[in-house]
Amino acid sequence: MKQIQFSLSSNADLNAFDTLVLPVFDKGQTTDLGTDTQLATLTESLFEQGDFLAKPGQTQMVFQPAGVPCRRVLLVGFGDIGKLTVKAYLESLNAAAKALDNSGAEEVLNSLIDVQPAETDQAWSVYQNALAFQRSLYDYEHESRNKKTPKTPKLNGMTFPVEASAENVSQLEQAQASALGMALTQDLANMPSNFCTPTYLAETAQKLGEMHGFDVNILDEAEMTQMGMGAFMAVAQGAHTPPKMICLSYRGAGDEAPIALVGKGVTFDTGGISLKPGESMDEMKYDMGGAATVLGVFEALGRLKPKVNVVGVIPSTENMPAGNATKPGDVVKSLSGQTIEILNTDAEGRLILCDALTYAQQTYQPKKIIDMATLTGACIIALGHQMSAVLGNNQPLVDALLASGLKTYDRFWQMPLSEEYDEQLQSNFADMANIGGRPAGTITAAQFLARYTRDVEWAHLDIAGTAWVSGKNKGATGRPVPAVVDFLMAQAGQ
């Protein structure tokens, strides 16, 4: 994806830009930048004539406006500034990004950072603008789509008319790195599963290691079997594509204990013997959204280089029906030594995650673990597609993730953990069952994982409803890369 050259300048000269992006409010008012020219008269006149009412998300391109050195001015509506919500603000940003993408703008002065909802500040506006405009250049390109005409964005540079303070610079850099990390996550998740295999994910990790200096270690099937990863292998044994345990390590804080990110990497999920319905099964290529998120976060870490240690652990396999596939009622032993009765082979994510969680603790001794997975359809029923679920055994950790979700608008909603839900996992034939029935499916899945994280601060992110969208605009979203990156930056004190 093409990278925009962002800059901050409190005394930017309009003559240096071919395009000005200008916020407009109800009744046609604009900011100080507009009142320094004849634009205020123009915007008020457009409002009075009913040609531009400046509603949130509304845009209008004006060419060669009198008294303005820029060839074009993009007017962006925000409505009543006193009632401006975060959602409405971001709708306006995305509309502006789309309008620029469809124009000839190359060098842009963007004064939308002068506007923000009441509960935010200008540094937040810088972050959201940089994230939105960089993200707008994303275009899925792959050999499987060789007849498509790729995007050729003309936009090269964007300047925000604001002081280059340390906070503004930091937020700008974090936003762009997050957007580029999201692009990698989207590319991996959007890729057909016959291309994006566990081996391909491992090769992607190795390339990231070469590019950014990460330590990368890949475990193969024989190594994992010898170690005793019976839960992971129970899922992998029906697939012809070889499974991988993909491990990355970023060291930015010396000998400190790391934060571990564990991402579910089922590159295609048929459900196994408990076969899924055929309708929309093609979307099960997105069941590696957690793995793609971890790799996208590491892409951002490589660019930002925060003072924190982070490890990524990605268990990756396909889940396929076969003559040797695991059957409902089979019992397996996990790496932790706990046994599991597999009542439903379509509850496979927790099986590969539990061994990955144990391996991460045994190998890296992390101070915190966050796992992320497209784990349960129940999460979509509970929260829809707007927010991811977060559950955990440590409230300060959960609170920190909630805060990062609010800041980035890549939001989470906390759901409970409790011994009462844990009772649903009882088995007559093993230490636990891998499902707890239909009630509270998201919670019982997390309760299962909690049995493997009793001795470490742990949070679980269920991203089943937010990792991709269906329908006409089907595709990966890149979430929750922004929130996880922000969490790690906050942990680093940056």
Beta-carbon contacts of 166 under 8 Å, excluding residues fewer than 6 positions away, are: none
Q: Exposure of 53 by Cβ count < 10 A (0-12 exposed, 13-18 middle, 19+ buried)? A: middle
255 assigned ligand-binding residue: no
ω into 242 cis (within 30 of 0):
no
3-state secondary structure of 409: coil
Is residue 379 a contact partner of residue 465, using CB atoms and an 8 Å limit? Answer: yes
From the list 372, 423, 414, 366, the residue with the least C-alpha distance to 393 is 414
Residue 269 labeled ligand binder = yes
Annotated catalytic residue, options 135, 350, 368, 451: 350
CA-to-CA separations, 374 to 51, 371, 422, in angstroms, rounded = 45, 10, 21
Q: Do the beta carbons of residue 232 and residue 246 sit within 8 Å?
A: no
**399 assigned to a ligand binding site:** no
Beta-strand relationship, 19-25 and 72-79: parallel
3-class SS of residue 274: coil
Q: 3-class DSSP state for residue 198? A: helix
User: Is 419 known as a binding-site position?
Assistant: no
Residue 346 in marked binding region: yes
> What torsion do the CA atoms of 109, 110, 111, 114 make, to the nearest 10 degrees?
-140
SS3 147: coil
350 flagged as catalytic: yes
Query: 191 — alpha (psi -120 to 50), left (phi > 0) or beta?
Result: beta
262: phi then psi, degrees, rounded to nearest 5: -115, 125
Active site residue 276: yes
d(Cα 78, Cα 326) in Å, to the nearest integer? Answer: 55
User: How far is residue 232 from each of residues 270, 324, 471, measured CA to CA in Å?
Assistant: 16, 15, 32
CA-based nearest residue to 377, from 442, 305, 432, 421 = 442
Q: Among residues 251, 276, 305, 333, which one is catalytic?
A: 276
Alpha helices in 342-465 (DSSP H): 349-364, 377-383, 395-408, 419-422, 441-450
Binding site listing: 264, 269, 287, 346, 348
Catalytic site positions: 276, 350
Binding site listing for Mn(2+): 264, 269, 287, 346, 348
